[in-house]
Structure 1
Amino acid sequence: MRLLELGLIPQIVIGVVLGAVLGMLLPSLAESLGLLGQLFVAMLKAVAPLLVMLLVMSAIANRHESGSDGRKTFIVVALYIVGMVSAAVVALTLSQIFPQTIALAASAEGAPPVAVSAVLTDVLLKLVDNPINALLTGNFLGCLSWAILLGMSFRKAPHTFRDHLQVAADGVATIVGYVIKLAPIGIFGLVCFTVATVGMEALAGYASLATVLVAAMLIMALLINPLFVFLITRKNPYPIVIRCLEESGITAFFTRSSAANIPVNLNLAKKLGISEELYSVTIPVGATVNMTGAAITITTLTLAATHTLGIEVSMPAALLLCVISALSACGASGVPSGSLLLIPLACSLFGIPLDVSMQVVAVGFIISVIQDSAETALNSSTDVVYTYAVDQLGEES
């Protein structure tokens, strides 16, 4: 019972430790225990699309006439873009200071986009997807676009209908609360399975590359993001930054899915007192387009490929890479390793052939147990950090 009285974060830490120990000592049980993690992630993914659609729809339908939240939503989205470009610049700087080379591995499977236009086309098609299909396939852009349109239409509906809409949204949010309470058990299963099946041996050959990636993400999380928060709020940024890393980043680190972490972020935003009209839109949008960590991954691995092949990268080309990485990151899906298949797009900027760039993708999969976990933790926690910062605008006026 004392264990249940602990906070969620201590429970998760205990789950991580027990999972790692059992993964090393009893690897034969890893597959069975890993099912606990798979069920946890599956539950989050199952409830997230419905939660997003109902929350956004209800928030807009019941929204007050003030346009302040609309302005703040625009600022948050703009901040997402600035953050991704900044992350790419951080990765570029570290890659120039500590140039990485890689031993090209076997080819990876998949069909990466061949141009930025392909990414943008995919985004547009997702926006106009059938709403039922969007819910079934976890297409959050489609869920978001239909929720906005329906919410605007329902603004003229009777108050009783809009109240029922809010009751439905609250009901799904309650279910999400129950699922989040299972996080320590789910993360225990995920860690146990990962340690038993992957271990740390696979990372040894690429430790330097993984270190640069993680260092860039730490700089973004602990220096650049706090700087943005300070410039907006003029307050000490670290309490909110650390809390978001603890309550959002830790779960995202182990689920490795921005989409699965949407319910966690919505719950955290509510606890932080952020306006529901703001976070019910910016959190789902952030999970789809705010891929700060993905911009770091794409930039770092692309530059590692150029260093390996001896390709000179001029400053204009490097800056263009940062922009391309940010745009490409917007097209990264909110699932594990969603950013890796966008690396060939960036590699094409330097004339690197597809078969070689796909080998770089394979290297990314080798280190993904660290890279993708850290990337998702940065992506997801940043969504709440930026939303909180912008929500503070005008609070003291």
Structure 2
Amino acid sequence: MSKKQGNFLKHYGSILLLLAGLIIGSVLGIFFGAKVELIKPLGDIFINLLFTVVVPLVFFAIASAIANVERGENFGKLITIMFLVFIGTELLAASLSLISAWWFPIHAELADKKIILESIEKKTIGDQITQLLTASDFFELLSRKSMLALIIFSILTGFGVLQSGDKGKPFKDFLNSGNEVLKNILAIIMKIAPLGLGAYFAVQVGTIGPKLFGTYRDAMLLYHGVCLVYFVIFFSLYAFLAGGFTAVKLYWQNNIVPSATAIGTCSSIATIPANLEAAKKMGIPEHIRNLVIPLGAPLHKDGSAISAVIKIATVFAMFHRPLAGVDVIVIALGISVVCSIVEGGIPNGGYIAELLVISVYGFPPEALPAVMIIGTLVDPVATVLNATGDTVVAMLIAKIIKPAKYVKVIG
């Protein structure tokens, strides 16, 4: 084997194995259909391992990032810019989706399948916000369902270390050490990614695939068309704004594993480890990537913003209501941003968003199954945009915070 071939396998061997696993899984799903559920436990084991490492990894990554903030570093500026970029890209994604829905109207009829709403636990807005942002006991922070509460606690921990000065140095060293250990654990788990994600792909293709061109054909075609344009063109534009054509090339070279992990797991949270590794290869400073990537998973979801508008357009078509008017448009854009923030970053986490769409516009309960089905079918592609969008906005944020330094790094 030549030296050139050896270097190629060294840098791309894991990616080739992952792609091979996905291709084999897709073929199995096409030929065996629902029977491939027999190998679903292989995918579940891999996903469960990812989820077990995600919670401590997020804690150590965020807490250590804040604890290591350089003296004079304007942390408030970083947080402000980050949220402005998050909201800006979500609104842009929703606007593109809305314009596309006007150009290519959705034709849909009410589905016959209904859902019993009485079985759904109803909570006040205050209770939902409290549950979203906090946990009633420390052990509840250890669940991926409490990601926002964990992130808030991690931020507080990092600030606590900063305020402690020299007395907090041993704890700071512990956070740095824990961050390194968790990243190595992740590297070990990712060794079985081709097998685990391949099994997951097989099940998705074998079970969900045949439904893609059924009752919701127009909505699905429109959604995937908008996502493709946004994924290829707009993500490339964001990368270009961050660092020119060099940054565009750097982004796409390192976006394969995060994209495959996102579409295979349907979870932005499970993609955090792959995104952190990709962001490192993209030259994004550590204190920026360790904040933007974990925070972006639950708070920045361009794919969910697009799907929220598509759900709205579909329900409006079903009830023969025009998708027009300033109030309708403003509410649609507002819902898209809210949905992007409140969704949990876990598989099928859009349930809150779907209830929000129905309740805000005053549609009857019969509309709920439609948005639930659409939410299920678009989940894999939505997750790709949700997850991989975090790395490209991290590039933008790095450029805004320290433009000269970031351009020099990627150059």
The two structures have a TM-score, normalised by structure 2, of 0.86
User: What residue in structure 2 maps to residue 62 of structure 1?
Assistant: 68
Q: How far does residue 242 in structure 1 lie from its aligned partner after superposition?
A: 2.2
Q: How far does residue 201 in structure 1 lie from its aligned partner after superposition?
A: 4.6
Partner of 1:257, secondary structure, is coil
Q: How many pairs does the alignment contain?
A: 391
Specify the code of the residue in structure 2 equivalent to 1:99. Answer: P
Are 2:153 and 1:153 equivalent residues in the alignment? no
Q: How far does residue 165 in structure 1 lie from its aligned partner after superposition?
A: 2.3
1:286-341 Cα deviation digits (max 9, x unpaired) = 10011111111111111111122111233312133112221122111111222244
User: What residue in structure 2 maps to residue 176 of structure 1?
Assistant: 186
Q: What is the distance in 2 between the residues matched to 1:151 and 1:109?
A: 45
Q: How far does residue 279 in structure 1 lie from its aligned partner after superposition?
A: 1.4
In angstroms, what is the RMSD of aligned CA positions?
2.8
Are 2:94 and 1:88 equivalent residues in the alignment? yes
Are 2:220 and 1:214 equivalent residues in the alignment? no
Specify the code of the residue in structure 1 equivalent to 2:160. Answer: S
The answer to whether the Cα contact below 8 Å between 1:245 and 1:377 also exists between their aligned partners in 2 is no
The answer to whether the Cα contact below 8 Å between 1:321 and 1:349 also exists between their aligned partners in 2 is no
Q: What is the distance in 2 between the residues matched to 1:320 and 1:297?
A: 15
Specify the code of the residue in structure 2 equivalent to 1:146. Answer: F
Partner of 2:323, secondary structure, is coil
1:171-216 Cα deviation digits (max 9, x unpaired) = 1111011122322111111012223333425534433221100111
Counterpart among 351, 362, 384 of residue 391 in structure 2: 384
Counterpart among 324, 344, 354 of residue 355 in structure 2: 344
Q: How far does residue 347 in structure 1 lie from its aligned partner after superposition?
A: 3.4
Shift of the 70–36 alpha-carbon distance from structure 1 to 2, 3 Å rule, reads farther
User: What residue in structure 1 maps to residue 142 of structure 2?
Assistant: 135
1:134-166 Cα deviation digits (max 9, x unpaired) = 113441111111111111112223433322321
The answer to whether the Cα contact below 8 Å between 1:23 and 1:30 also exists between their aligned partners in 2 is yes
User: What residue in structure 1 maps to residue 43 of structure 2?
Assistant: 37
Q: How far does residue 121 in structure 1 lie from its aligned partner after superposition?
A: 5.5
- Name the stretch that deviates more: 33-42 or 229-238: 229-238
Q: What is the distance in 2 between the residues matched to 1:210 and 1:312?
A: 20
The answer to whether the Cα contact below 8 Å between 1:343 and 1:357 also exists between their aligned partners in 2 is no
Q: What is the distance in 2 between the residues matched to 1:293 and 1:109?
A: 28
Partner of 1:384, secondary structure, is helix
Summarize the alignment of residues 230-309 of structure 1 with structure 2, pairs less than 5 Å apart: 230-235=240-245, 238-243=248-253, 245-309=255-319
The answer to whether the Cα contact below 8 Å between 2:315 and 2:371 also exists between their aligned partners in 1 is no
The two structures have a TM-score, normalised by structure 1, of 0.89
Q: How far does residue 240 in structure 1 lie from its aligned partner after superposition?
A: 3.9
User: What residue in structure 1 maps to residue 409 of structure 2?
Assistant: none
Partner of 1:181, secondary structure, is helix
Q: Which runs of 5+ in 2 are unaligned?
A: 1-5, 406-411
Identity %: 24
User: What residue in structure 1 maps to residue 30 of structure 2?
Assistant: 24
Q: How far does residue 373 in structure 1 lie from its aligned partner after superposition?
A: 0.8
Shift of the 189–325 alpha-carbon distance from structure 1 to 2, 3 Å rule, reads same
Q: How far does residue 4 in structure 1 lie from its aligned partner after superposition?
A: 8.1
